[in-house]
Structure 1
Amino acid sequence: MATLEGAEDHPAQRDSHTEMDSDEDPVLDAKSSNNLWELVEELALNNIEHFRTDESENGQRLYEGFQAFLEHLRNLRKIVPDVKQISPDFDFDSKVRGNGYRSFVMVVDACLVHCAELSRTICTKRDSTFFQKKRSMREVEAWGQVLASLTQLFEFLKRLHSWSEKGCLFPSDYHSPEELLLEATNLNQYCFYGRCLGFQFVNSMRRALKMVSLSMASFSEVYYNSGSIFSRTTQSILAGGRCWLDPEYRARRIVNLSQNATVDFCKSFWLLADSELLSQLPGVVCPAIAVNKVIAVPPEPLEMPKADSRGMVSIPIPTAHGDSRAIPCRLLSSHWREGMVSSKGENRKHMVLPTTSSLVIHCHGGGFIACTSASHEIYLREWAAKLEVPIFSIDYSLAPEAPYPRALEEVFYAYCWALRNAHLLGSTAERVVLVGDSAGGNLVNGITMKCIKLGVRIPTGIFLIYAPNLIQFIPSPSRLLCLMDPLLPFGVLMKCLKAYAGHTAEEPIFRQLQEESRLPLPIPNGSPKEVDEPNTILPVGQDMLKTSPGSGTCSPSDTESFVEVSESDMQDMATMASVSLSLASDPSPGDEKPELTSQEYVDDFLEKYVLDSETDSMGQKVHVVRAESLESDTDEHVLFEFPQDLSHSFSKRIGAAARSIKDTFTGWRSRGQPVLGIPVDRKRVSFPTLGKFPAMAANFDSLGPVSPAVEFKKFQVSRDPFISPYLASDDLLMKFPPTHLLTVHLDPCLDDCVMFAKRLRALNVQVALDILPEMLPHGFLNFSQSSKEAHAGSMECIQHIRILLGLLGTSAATP
């Protein structure tokens, strides 16, 4: 009888964190790979022969299932060597081996291990009285479908290779995604989300990904169904149980949701990470830190000295897609340090250390539409404890309420504010490292380019973690991984990019973008067309690089240049600002408003939204909370903590917020104290009703497959380098500071990282690319406390930050 010798130690099944030798190929060597193919085929033939004579219904289906399984296996085996042979041409170098072609070969290797294990199990148990033929039959059919879908994906890879020049993972001349994905209508995506969900990842991640998938299916019941809170919750529990027991149902629900759900659903689901329950998790499982507070950076006139010491430059106040507002940021530190912002007497129980010369500024991920610094505390807390350096994490505005360039404007302004007010963060900012994961990595590149263009001091180094560097709908091998990714399905990825940077055919700019889309993409050693200025998409009457009016400076002594608040109030203020962003029209060039100081900003907020005035017994005017703001919220059904209908939700819940802050606000107004401390009250998630959103009442379980190509109809993205840093000019990129990139083999953004690193290296920028050997997904940092492989990846990130800060040797990857 055939056995699984040699397959148990396959790299795809290793759970322990092992360092890959620099000369070790992440793909199986030819001998091991051939042995595995032969083993699976031998086991399949053995089972075919056994069930040939089984006359039961399930026995015959097992026989037919293994026949189809064997046919798909042989078809896949014919095409995999072609892709495996070309994969070395696209590696970063001989030591850093990784690209989308290699990733798919690794996916096949992982699939073969599972197929061999299934076939061996059936071989050993098929004669047992307790052998479950029906369950085994479904497993065999599921893995046969996976083999068939992988065969189709490898056909796509061969076509992509025919479109690309050697060394470039993106087509050198534009081929539309529709041209490739039009045939993907027949691709069976369901097989990747049912019984075989997450097979390509390490064991610890498979368990976590299954829970995420179950949660998404359950959440869809609450989100899209009408009825009372009780009925919605009941439906959610029943849907979760059905998804657990019926993998085929789960697969249909997840695929149909990713293809048909709105961006609001994706945003609401991801924002559950900021709910009251999950927000408490980092405090339980992560190391304790001395400082973890949210502060508000006000939209004040701000000037920065030029990097060449030849004057000052005014930093534009963020105003795109709405009025200016305070930018909430989170300060995390393992120690109290001199000058660090705190409430009166707050740090008396802690030892106060001198200021440090280092500072880490962080931009969180979330597809530009979701998440906050709070949801990324799961690894930021440990970073702060291990690095012993203050971390300043920026909570920028989210799409679709605040699309490009709002987030970029805010992170750049917050970066400049942090440099000017570093003493309030416990640092002298002699060495500053910008860190961003996923969408945050894209924004970090944007900050760096804006610093170069405006002549502002650039960071000491930047660290990009699985960052998208080319936000264009151009096919690449690693992007096809989205067709089987549980965390970042193709439809969800498209909705995120559309919400942040998309333009529809009805917009006047669309025809211009169509013309731009015909321009060829740069190859690593080429000099791309300068597209910085002409193609920058700006709101009417706005200029992304326009200096803000006013000449006020923010000197180091201006300790009142910000307001420290609790999370509840920053979330309320952010909600109010989101209302403004979604309802306010872009101001005309002649309607510029005078800038407010931090004192005026808070006064204006209180006067407009919370306070009223009365005359006390002494005849003096005092401020009190408005009576109408104390009305209770009685007609809104809320389960979680983020408002879907922002304007309605904020007007209702301001009363609840006013109750908790009445005494604080009144006392603060009378004393004129610069620091506010207000009790925590989390964001809420409101759910749409069928009356409001009739189009959302579709039965996702009955929908048929949708071709991925439909996502590209009437839609285009600007070739603005601030959206896609890979398209920036050589003159801009050659001025980048030392840049480190970290990603994983199964990341849909892997090719973005490889190609961006190649461009920087060709321009003699000091660059290091690290592709972790473990089979981890995009966004693994958010699972660092539930997966030991993900945690090891987080520790690797700390090492990169130490190198960039000059705290640990020097980078080995020099140009």
Structure 2
Amino acid sequence: MDYKVVFTTLDTVCEEISILSGPSDFPYGAVAERLIKCTKQIQEHGRALEPIVANLSAIFHRYDFDSQTPGNGYRTLVKVLNSCLLHIIQKARYIASHYNSAFFRAEHNVSEIEVYCSALCQLRALIHLAQQLINGNDYGQLYSLQDNDLSQRFVQEYSSMHKACFYGRCLGFQFSPALRPFLQSVVISMISYGETYGKKQSGLGLAALSLLTSGKYVIDPDLRGAEFERITQNLDMQFWKSFWNLTESGLITGLYRIASKQVKLNITLTVPPVTLHLPLASDSSLTANVSPPIAHWGPGPVHMRLISHEIRDGQDSEELLSFSRTNPPPASVSHLPWVQKQPRSPWLLIHFHGGGFVAQTSRSHECYIRTWSKELNVPVLSVDYSLSPEAPFPRALEECFYAYCWALKNCHLLGSTAERVCLAGDSAGGNLCITVSMKAISCGIRVPDGIMAAYPATLLTTDASPSRLLTLIDPVLPLSVLTRCIYAYSYAVQPAVSSSSLSALGRDTAVLLGDLTQGASNWIQSLLDPRWISGGARSPSSSQKTSQSSKIHGTSVPTSGCNLDYPLGFEPLRSECLASVRLTSCPIIKNPFVSPLLAPDNLLRGLPPVHIVASALDALLDDSVMFAKKLRDMGQPVTLTVVEGLPHGFLSLSQISKETETATEVCMAKIREIFEQKNPTPALSKRP
């Protein structure tokens, strides 16, 4: 819908509410007064925002990848604002037409429109920040890579701005409607898990406790929003890791496998750390030595998972099964005469999973890997690289590169001739696809035939961009989560002890000491806050309710030192629980093998075709746009596809809705394009 129509409609429905809200027309006492005050504030925000949106709409095409790919953070902010306005219009129309109904719930409906008014206030602040980014950046640039002041102000605003309104009644309003119940379930599960986290209970006991505590967050969305904000403002990395690693549990993975495509081969492999010898891409008579991963604790094995829809030649070999981690090892299909083997595939897909470098494995990504294996009729090797903060950079990169080289050398065991090799990954895995290819170029060995990177992280810094502003409202990727993952992956100082010793020493505590020290005062204060001391249901006290009410109606907490020139009379709502977020300053973060967007041209030149699939509502959208532009300007083959209405991590949600399924099919089509591309490199030069 055209933004002019939306603003005109918003103003009209607000006028209608103001007219009918007299004591005789709207006989609900104090609720009517709240409704009148709220609609006046909505009108004020709408009238202030309309000219700003008009200016943004006139110029945001400058920041697109090309005219056929409309997508960047400025466009997204306008879309999110538009979605919020449409929800307000819908709710206001409902109130205007149903307030005389016997079943009309005045308190509920007015509370709903108040929360959306709060969300609109915060979005107005984000739009203002976006204006400053436009003024502070070069023409067509989405990131403030040289302006530390802009990034500092962005982090300050995130730390102090109120976010609970985005996690309660209007949770996920910007996403596809089919995803909102799922997001609500995730948020409620995380909060409930937080209440039982650390308690010495069996798995069944924890599940029972979580079930008992989750009900209050279903009934009270405002409490849910406040608790989720509190959890994410000062994040405990070990809690975050353990929650997302619940996807590795037998029950959840069992459900995944029932709902996913069935495959005939699904085995885990452990490859020992031995030096590999691969031919040089420029001269196959010469070889390059590839050492096993050694960072932080010395040589160690690399773990992988091989998935194949069909049993192929080589996959039944005793040599392959000798690498199997499955206990007991799977029976060789040579002993199963009724299983018909297929010839080796000319294709091989190597996959690196997402999870912010800190969580999950190939097991939690099987839901779409199985589909790829069946629909593309290709064996898939998914790498279970070591996770941070126990294994920071460059351990994961070393393991993924070693796995890639091992797969090239041993493709005959994987059921492939490796005439075409594609790297595919999402988020952190997308980063590793790019950096593994860069490392192959640096070592002079064969590069893959193409890369499919879904919503990749190409800039691991807190530099401000319009899409990064979405971290203030995104339940999947808040800025506090993003920065903790960045610091965990880039942490430079590690104890010089063995991998097994690290497990026993509680490595997360040591690694995150800096973060916890800086955030200690805020964290302790939140624990000592009388609202949380009582435990149990943690219902808001009367003073808290008063504070929430004042927030809804536009007053604000002091800004804790933020120095932004907001329009006269306007100030965003402030949180009572300040976040501990700091600017990324570690030099490792600017290493081109950590942040490929910062890589010099000579490290990127020679990359294979890169196909990036991003989401318009992802906080990392601008990473994809800027990296695609950089490759294009260098003359490197690259495509960018932007899907609508989906959050970061949509590949793992492929079975949740039609929209996520379609986006997954887009990724699969890009992989197929790599396998079927014309003018392949001669097979002789590709074989190790």
TM over 0.5: yes
Structure 1 CA distance for aligned equivalents of residues 586 and 415 of structure 2: 46
The residue aligned with 1:147 is 120
**2: CA distance between counterparts of 1:808 and 1:794?**
24
- In structure 2, the partner of 1:650 is none
Residue 381 of structure 1 is matched in structure 2 by 370
Per the TM alignment, residue 466 of structure 1 is displaced from its structure 2 partner at its CA by 0.2
SS in 2 for 1:38: helix
For residues 343-393 of structure 1, the C-alpha deviation after alignment (integer angstroms, 9 at most, x for no partner) is: 444362321011111100000000000011010001111111100010100
SS in 1 for 2:245: helix
Match of 1:330 in 2: 305
Aligned to 1:579: 500
**Aligned positions of 1:731-746 closer than 5 A:** 731-746=602-617
My pick for the range that moved more, 182-191 or 743-752, is: 182-191
Letter in 1 for 2:20: H
3-state DSSP of counterpart to 1:61? helix
2:259 counterpart of 1:285: yes
Letter in structure 2 aligned against 1:328: H
Q: Secondary structure at the match of 2:464?
A: coil
Give the partner amino acid of 1:482.
Answer: T
Q: State the distance in 2 between where 1:470 and 1:362 align.
A: 21
Indicate the SS of the match to 1:322. Answer: coil
Cα deviation, 1:179-222, whole Å, max 9, x if unaligned, reads: 33324455221111110000000011111111110110111011
SS in 2 for 1:46: helix
Matched, 1:247 2:221: yes
User: Paired residue for 1:751?
Assistant: 622
Whether the aligned pair in 2 keeps the contact of 1:448 and 1:458 (CA below 8 Å) is yes
CA distance in structure 2 between the aligned counterparts of 1:268 and 1:764, rounded to whole angstroms:
43
Q: How does 1:653-672 map to 2 (within 5 A)?
A: none
Instruction: Determine the C-alpha separation between the residues in 1 that align with 2:669 and 2:262.
Output: 20
Residue correspondence of structure 1 range 429-440 to structure 2 within 5 A: 429-440=418-429
1:112 aligns with 2:99: no
Q: Give matches, 1:793-804, under 5 Å.
A: 793-804=663-674
Mapped partners of 2:397, 2:445: distance in 1: 15
1:721, 1:768 → 2: CA distance?
21
Which has the larger displacement, 169-178 or 439-448?
169-178
Cα distance in 2 for partners of 1:152, 1:702 equals 29
* Residues 686-705 of structure 1 mapped to structure 2, 5 A cutoff: 698=527, 702=532, 705=576
Q: Which residue does the alignment assign to 2:129?
A: 156
Q: Are the equivalent residues in 2 in contact too, given 1:323–1:581 (CA < 8 A)?
A: no
Judge which range, 220-229 or 740-749, deviates more: 220-229
Rounded Cα–Cα distance in structure 1 between residues aligned with 2:275 and 2:201: 49
Give the structure with the higher percent helix. Answer: 2
The residue correspondences of 1:31-430 to structure 2 (distance < 5 A) are 32-53=2-23, 54=27, 56-171=29-144, 173-176=146-149, 177-224=151-198, 235-309=209-283, 310-340=285-315, 341-342=320-321, 343-346=330-333, 348=336, 349-430=338-419
Describe the shift of the 1:121–1:65 C-alpha distance in structure 2 as closer, same or farther (beyond 3 A). Answer: same
Partner of residue 571, structure 1? none
Q: Any idea what the Cα deviations from partners look like across 1:720-750, whole Å, max 9, x if unmatched? A: 0000011111112121111111101011111
Q: Which of the residues 491, 494, 497 maps onto 2:480?
A: 491
Q: In 1, Cα distance between the equivalents of 2:377 and 2:528?
A: 51
Conserved 8 A contact 2:234-2:580: no
Conserved? CA contact 1:322–1:581, under 8 Å:
no
1:70 is displaced (CA, Å) by 2.1
* Contact 2:28–2:106 (CA under 8 A) maintained in structure 1: no
| CA 1:207–1:344: 2 relative to 1, 3 Å | closer
Q: How many residues align?
A: 606
Q: Which residue of 1 aligns with 2:557?
A: none
Answer yes or no: is 1:448 the counterpart of 2:437: yes
Which secondary structure state, in structure 2, belongs to the residue aligned with residue 723 of structure 1?
coil
Matched, 1:776 2:646: yes
Quick one: structure 1 residues 290 and 159, their matched pair in 2 at CA, closer, same or farther if it must change by over 3 Å? same
- Give the letter aligned to residue 413 of structure 2: L
Verify the 8 A CA contact 2:238 2:508 in the aligned structure 1.
no
For 2:289 and 2:159, the matched residues in 1 are separated by: 51
Structure 1's unaligned 5+ residue stretches are: 1-27, 508-538, 542-575, 585-643, 648-693, 811-815
CA positional deviation for 1:445: 1.1
Residue 708 of structure 1: how far off its partner (Å): 5.2
Q: Partners of 2:157 and 2:234 in 1: how far apart? A: 19
- Alpha-carbon offset, residue 262 of structure 1: 1.1
Contact 2:390 2:508 in 1 (8 A): no
**For each residue in 1:211-269, what CA deviation from the matched residue of structure 2 results, as whole angstroms up to 9, or x when unmatched?**
11011011101114577878755542333111111111111111111111311111001
Relative distance call for 1:185 and 1:452 in structure 2 (3 A) is: closer
CA distance in 2, matches of 1:740, 1:88: 21
Secondary structure of the corresponding residue to residue 778 of structure 1: coil
Cα distance change, pair 717–126 in 1 and its aligned pair in 2 (3 A): farther
CA, structure 1 residues 230+776, in 2 after alignment: closer, same or farther (shift >3 Å)? Answer: closer
Secondary structure of the residue that 1:64 maps to in structure 2?
helix
CA distance in 1, matches of 2:79, 2:117: 18
C-alpha spacing 1:55/1:300, structure 2 compared with 1 (3 Å): closer
* 1:401/1:696 CA distance change after superposition, 3 Å: farther
Identity of aligned residues (%): 37
In 1, Cα distance between equivalents of 2:419 and 2:244: 36
Q: Deviation at 1:430?
A: 1.1
1:532 corresponds to which residue? none
Q: CA separation of 1:133/1:421 partners in 2, compared to 1, >3 Å: closer, same or farther?
A: same
Contact in 2 for aligned 1:108/1:150 (Cα 8 Å)? yes
* Pair 145,401 (structure 1): closer, same or farther in 2 beyond 3 Å: same
1:420 CA displacement? 0.3
2:452 aligned residue: 463
Alpha-carbon spacing, 1:47–1:540, altered in 2? closer, same or farther (3 Å): closer
Of 778, 783, 790 in structure 1, the residue corresponding to residue 660 of structure 2 is 790
SS where residue 47 of structure 2 aligns? helix
1:334 counterpart letter in structure 2: H
Letter in 2 for 1:760: L
Mapping for residues 453-602 of structure 1, pairs under 5 Å: 453-502=442-491, 578-581=499-502
**What is the SS of the residue equivalent to 1:470?**
coil
**Other-structure match for 1:523:** none
**2:233–2:580 contact (8 Å) kept in structure 1:** no
The code of the aligned residue for 1:47 comes to: I
Compute the TM-score of the two structures, normalised by the length of structure 1. 0.71
Secondary structure at the counterpart of residue 293 of structure 1: strand
Amino acid in the other structure paired with 1:738? P
Q: Write the deviation string for residues 593-638 of structure 1: whole angstroms up to 9, x where unpaired.
A: xxxxxxxxxxxxxxxxxxxxxxxxxxxxxxxxxxxxxxxxxxxxxx
* TM-score relative to the length of structure 2: 0.83
2:617 is paired with a residue of what secondary structure?
coil
| Corresponding residue SS for 2:148 | coil
Cα distance, 1:261–1:646 mapped onto 2, change above 3 Å: closer
Equivalent pair of 1:303/1:314 in contact (CA under 8 Å): yes
Shift in Å at residue 702 of structure 1? 4.4
